Amino acid sequence: MFDPDELAAIREAKAEWEDQTLQPTLDRFGERREQFRTDTGGQQVDRLYTPADVADLDYGEDLGFPGKEPYTRGVYTTMYRGRLWTMRQYAGMGTASETNERFNYLLEEGQTGLSMAFDLPTQMGYDSDAAMAAGEVGKAGVAIDSLRDMETVFDGIPLSDVSTSMTINAPASVLLAMYVAVGDQQGVPREELRGTIQNDVLKEYIARNTYIYPPEPSMRIVTDIFEFAAAELPKFNPISISGYHVREAGSTAAQEIAFTLANAIEYVETALDAGLDVDEFAPQLSFFFASYNDIFEEAAKFRAARRLWASIVEERFDPDDPASKQLKFHTQTAGSTLTAQQIENNVVRVAYQALAAVLGGTQSLHTNGKDEALSLPTEQSVRTALRTQQILAHESGAADTIDPLAGSYYVESLTDDLEAEAREIIAEVDDRGGMREAIESGWVQRQIQDVAYERQQEVESGERIIVGVNEFTVDETQQDAAIEDVSEQQQQRQIERLEGVREEREDDAVASALAAVRDAAENGDNLMPPLIDAVKAYATTGEICDALRDVFGEHQPGT
């Protein structure tokens, strides 16, 4: 991008500055640290960046224009000048009616998309009255036992008007079937349904652990969903390939990109092996990343991920449709950076992290409530979290020009470094036989654990400062956070509701619908049509997942 003579002059001037100006200053004052690194410790941070650090940057090839390959500057032509990112707060609590209330509250307060959190039993494919569910019903998310609960969650919310994300993985096909069934009831054409299911089982084996079936049938279910979405739900994203949990497990930013894109490669290859065409489903793939405190590293990470995915799809899958190369992503501010100490500080952390996500061109954003490290967020903290996004959108100016950090010598250099490092990690995954092999051998998990361990050591030694935790502490004998929890009575109410559904429905219809699910699982037919029939007969989440457990078995860790 720079004239070679100009670059030579800059290098020379820098050497002179270092010698005549910098050195005497260093002799007198020194610097705060011997070495500076990015937040994850992955990249070295130099004292000063100049055009010489981005001498190899080719504007057309490496940056280009928004809405054009390699999409470094954003996937949409006008980005936030045309439409702001979707403000999508992750929520779900207790019973379906409480979640319905929270959703309505958020929409009234100006949220622009919905995001459903499910309780652990639902995520593991158990009904609320299962022994495994005891004590967990409605905690950290809503319990969805049957279509009846899903109807209640969306009571008075037309699915034609919102897009909904559902953080559900192993039973994703069942919850998607319920969403489609609610849409059918509301008379919304399937091709108008908008939303995303997480459906990213590979990262469950790496980090999040809500898997049910072994990897092979799990991948088959994912592919069935891709195929069904391509045919019937063209505006629905059938997967949210998630780096968030990889990062929260302690990875570096480069590992977050690499393992996420390596998982994505695995999903695409599996779908191609099943006979799908890349352009049929790749434009609807979506991604999900975390945003941490290091604003520049995070913004660079998002830019690098977009550029890398565009080139991976081009090199490996040779699509005709440029949309197959667009990396669209949701961001959540990093839960693990929230501290139980001085919780007000979390509002500030979340604001910086949200800024980084927007500077990096996110399509959708969740900002954490300040009290999420302690409990379910209260209504007041949820509002402040949403207001953080609204202030960013309407007051900060960050949304008014496209990709404002482009051309920063530092950010471009970081973008390059992160992309190069992620590319190397993906090459290593390839050498190990692909992501499924690399996960099954435990290699991926070990790579992440090593980094997480180092970080913990740094916190314990005080080398890494966490404000309010190992520095700038105050005596907080009294915790003044309002804490919300789910009561025994709420859990009991959910179980009674489930019993009511079991009494009202037609048992024969349920039995034959479950038999059809089993048949499709056994003979390889797409699972989605019989799943939709089963949820419409009010077969429960647990019953359907049990039918699939019968056919597919359960994953045993370490096998």
Ligand X SMILES: CC(C)(COP(=O)(O)OP(=O)(O)OC[C@H]1O[C@@H](n2cnc3c(N)ncnc32)[C@H](O)[C@@H]1OP(=O)(O)O)[C@@H](O)C(=O)NCCC(=O)NCCSC(=O)CCC(=O)O
**Site residues (vs ligand X, CB under 6 A):** 76, 78-79, 82-83, 86, 88, 90, 113, 115, 163, 165, 167, 194, 196, 208, 235, 237, 240, 244-245, 286, 288, 328-330, 332, 363-364, 366
Q: At what angle do helices 409-431 and 253-273 cross, to 10 degrees?
A: 50
Count the neighbouring beta carbons within 10 Å of the beta carbon of residue 69. Answer: 17
CB of 259 to ligand X, least distance (A): 15
- Per-residue tokens: 410: 């530092």
Residue nearer to ligand X on the CB measure, 328 or 423: 328
224 in Cβ contact with 173 (< 8 Å): yes
CB of 403 to ligand X, least distance (A): 12
CB of 167 to ligand X, least distance (A): 4
CB of 255 to ligand X, least distance (A): 18
Give, in order, the Cα–Cα distances in Å from 554 to each of 120, 169, 211, 515: 17, 14, 9, 19
Residue nearer to ligand X on the CB measure, 51 or 74: 74
Residue nearer to ligand X on the CB measure, 90 or 538: 90
**Spatial separation of the C-alpha atoms in residues 168 and 335, rounded to whole Å:** 18
Residue nearer to ligand X on the CB measure, 100 or 169: 169
Give, in order, the Cα–Cα distances in Å from 513 to each of 59, 150, 197: 57, 19, 23
CB of 85 to ligand X, least distance (A): 7
Residue of minimal Cβ distance to ligand X = 82
Residue nearer to ligand X on the CB measure, 86 or 146: 86
CB of 82 to ligand X, least distance (A): 3
CB of 240 to ligand X, least distance (A): 5
Count the neighbouring beta carbons within 10 Å of the beta carbon of residue 102. Answer: 23
Residue nearer to ligand X on the CB measure, 194 or 555: 194
Residue nearer to ligand X on the CB measure, 43 or 196: 196
**Spatial separation of the C-alpha atoms in residues 34 and 19, rounded to whole Å:** 18
DSSP of 183-214: HHHHT--GGG-EEEE---HHHIIIII----S-
**Spatial separation of the C-alpha atoms in residues 359 and 402, rounded to whole Å:** 9
Count of H-run helices and E-run strands, the chain = 21, 10
**Spatial separation of the C-alpha atoms in residues 556 and 547, rounded to whole Å:** 18
CB of 107 to ligand X, least distance (A): 14
CB of 34 to ligand X, least distance (A): 36
Residue nearer to ligand X on the CB measure, 166 or 425: 166
- Per-residue tokens: 513: 């619908």
Terminal Cα distance for the chain, rounded: 51
What is the three-class DSSP state of 43?
Answer: coil
Q: What residue type is assigned to position 92 of the chain?
A: G
| Strands 194-197 and 114-116, bridge-based pairing | unpaired
Q: What residue type is assigned to position 87 of the chain?
A: M
What is the three-class DSSP state of 254?
Answer: helix
Residue nearer to ligand X on the CB measure, 54 or 166: 166
